[in-house]
Structure 1
Amino acid sequence: MKLLVFLLLPCLSLSEVVKVPGFGECIQFFMNKDPPRFTPQWGNSVKKICQCVWDENDDQKYLYATLYNTDWKIPIYSAYVFKKSISVGRCDPWYIEPQLDGDAEPCMAPKGRKTLTYQAVNRDYDKSGYDKGHLYPVQHTYDHISMLATSTLTNAAPQNPDFNRDQWKKHEKAVIDDLKTCNSVAYVVTGVVPDHNKPKLKNRVTVSKYYWRATCCKKNGVYTGKGYFGPDQNNVVQTLSITGLQTLLAIEYGVDIVIFPGLLGGCIQFI
């Protein structure tokens, strides 16, 4: 099957649905290897995905983790480690995860497949008026392979194009500037709040109500976290503490959340 991966397209990524508790190899993308905790837990519609690609040596390279909701057909969050971002040529092939629909094929499949039961496909977005909004964004990738791995529909949700291309894009750049001041590895979790009051795309894919992002790293020896939430009034992105973000998300999700549970104090310092 690895040969098939390279024959399909030069911009092909794959991922791996974890069938056991935890995120497998992708647990490394959470601070202290401890994913966000939701109380109460969501049900069987939630799947843990370890996102990865084949590299030039025909080995799997793990890039980030995604918690995906097959009822909403959008991710709840994607988690990644921020490294020094560089300018890479963008390629948006947009693939899907066959394993979410019971296919044994471990590699990300190309677009254009038939409608699937448990995930979004490209045609769901056609003429919808929404962008495919990345959770792990291209701006935060650090090489060609990491860029390719972001272009999967399990890492995207319907996002207002004006917000996506303006304030949220500016926010992603501001996060880069902020995390460059870290003196340790920076951990990032980016999520989506679903809007259940709006019609689903093609009666299948839940539209996003809000996007959010949480970051945590050491600055001057202190674990420092920031939360981001948008669109707020006038399509701006609100900046707040991690505890403030968690309080907002508890209201919006209807469940309690601790974003960085593996760190004593939860990375609550806000600078």
Structure 2
Amino acid sequence: MPHSPAALLFLLPAISLAEVTSFTQCPQFFVGGVHPTVLKDPEDNNRYEQICQCLLDQNERPEYFYATLYDTRNKIPVYSAYEFHRADVERDDRWNVEPQLDGGTMLCMGGQNKIPTANRGLRQALNRDYDGSGYDKGHLFPVYHTHTVNTMLSTSTLTNAAPQEPSFNRGQWRRYEEDVAALLQKECDGAYVVTGVVPGNQHIGDGVRVAQYYWSAFCCFGESGALRSAGYIGPDNNGRVQEVGVKQLESILSDLYGLDFSVFQGIC
């Protein structure tokens, strides 16, 4: 697989309008409470936002479902991390945004009407960016890996999606999601998954970068501790998903991101 330089990650300057929740408020979505590497931009300290993805409950209190590192310059996530559970949940795509990224005051994800009109889309993707683009909204935390209605609803936020070529999204990558779900349900008492993207050189809409690669890794636990882990990345030159070891995946991602990158920080 050809590796792309760290230059993939540069884009236009971003405006910092809000402070979003840090990962310290949702460590339950990481193995041992330790998050993957957080990317940094020495020219923009506010470029990469740590989001504890939430919906407001009936008492207007945040309920957290997973964690996302979001690239506000490329307007796509770097990765989303979650604890794996699966049950058959009927899909309902009602796409949200993260109002706090663009100066809104809502505590959790919501509609773009929760963002001041002049700020909409400054630091994140909007539905209109995908309209007529020919690309799918590719979930990082997929609906297929959810187990409750609220968890399913929480995955349909544009901070958990990147432009993905439709045949890959609905073909090889969907098969990966199904195969991993079957494996984790059969062999694990508990499992954590991190799924991310590497941006390419193309963009859609107002500067939303198309994902060049999708990647994922899981860490599976049994009664005696960690049982199994694996990594995946694609598409390769044949449009397929490659299975690799976690350390090999981390080596590939270190090359692509241009810094030492770890998914599970040596725990798996």
Q: Same fold (TM over 0.5)?
A: yes
Deviation by residue 1:200-227 (Cα, 9 ceiling, x = unmatched): 2124101100000010022573522100
Q: TM-score, normalised by structure 1?
A: 0.83
C-alpha contact 1:258 1:266 (8 A) present in aligned 2: no
| CA displacement at 1:182 relative to structure 2 | 3.7
Moved over 3 A (4+): 40-43, 55-59, 111-115, 181-184, 219-222
Q: CA–CA distance in 2 between the matches of 1:183 and 1:132?
A: 29
C-alpha contact 1:163 1:231 (8 A) present in aligned 2: yes
Deviation by residue 1:122-167 (Cα, 9 ceiling, x = unmatched): 0001100100000000000011010000000000000000000111
Q: CA–CA distance in 2 between the matches of 1:217 and 1:182?
A: 8
Aligned to 1:204: 207
Letter in 2 for 1:216: C
C-alpha contact 1:97 1:109 (8 A) present in aligned 2: yes
Corresponding residue SS for 2:181: helix
Match of 1:131 among 129, 136, 140: 136
Match of 1:146 among 128, 151, 159: 151
C-alpha contact 2:99 2:112 (8 A) present in aligned 1: no
Letter in 2 for 1:246: E
Deviation by residue 1:71-101 (Cα, 9 ceiling, x = unmatched): 0000000000002x11111111111111001
Corresponding residue SS for 1:17: coil
Letter in 1 for 2:40: Q
Letter in 2 for 1:139: Y
Q: Matches of residues 117-266 of structure 1 in structure 2 within 5 Å? A: 117-195=122-200, 197-198=201-202, 200-219=203-222, 221=224, 223=226, 224-261=228-265, 265-266=266-267
Q: CA–CA distance in 2 between the matches of 1:67 and 1:232?
A: 24
| CA displacement at 1:266 relative to structure 2 | 3.5
Corresponding residue SS for 2:55: strand
Q: CA–CA distance in 2 between the matches of 1:177 and 1:28?
A: 23
Between Structure 1 and Structure 2, how many residues are aligned?
A: 242
Q: CA–CA distance in 2 between the matches of 1:255 and 1:44?
A: 18
Q: Matches of residues 51-70 of structure 1 in structure 2 within 5 Å? A: 51-56=53-58, 58-70=60-72
Aligned to 1:26: 26
Q: CA–CA distance in 1 between the matches of 2:210 and 2:121?
A: 18
Q: CA–CA distance in 2 between the matches of 1:232 and 1:174?
A: 18
Query: What's the % identity of the aligned pairs?
Result: 48
Q: CA–CA distance in 2 between the matches of 1:118 and 1:215?
A: 29
Aligned to 2:8: none
| CA displacement at 1:57 relative to structure 2 | 5.6
Alpha-carbon spacing, 1:220–1:239, altered in 2? closer, same or farther (3 Å): farther
| CA displacement at 1:27 relative to structure 2 | 1.4
Letter in 2 for 1:41: K
| CA displacement at 1:111 relative to structure 2 | 4.8
* Superposed CA RMSD: 1.9
C-alpha contact 1:111 1:122 (8 A) present in aligned 2: no
C-alpha contact 1:191 1:212 (8 A) present in aligned 2: yes
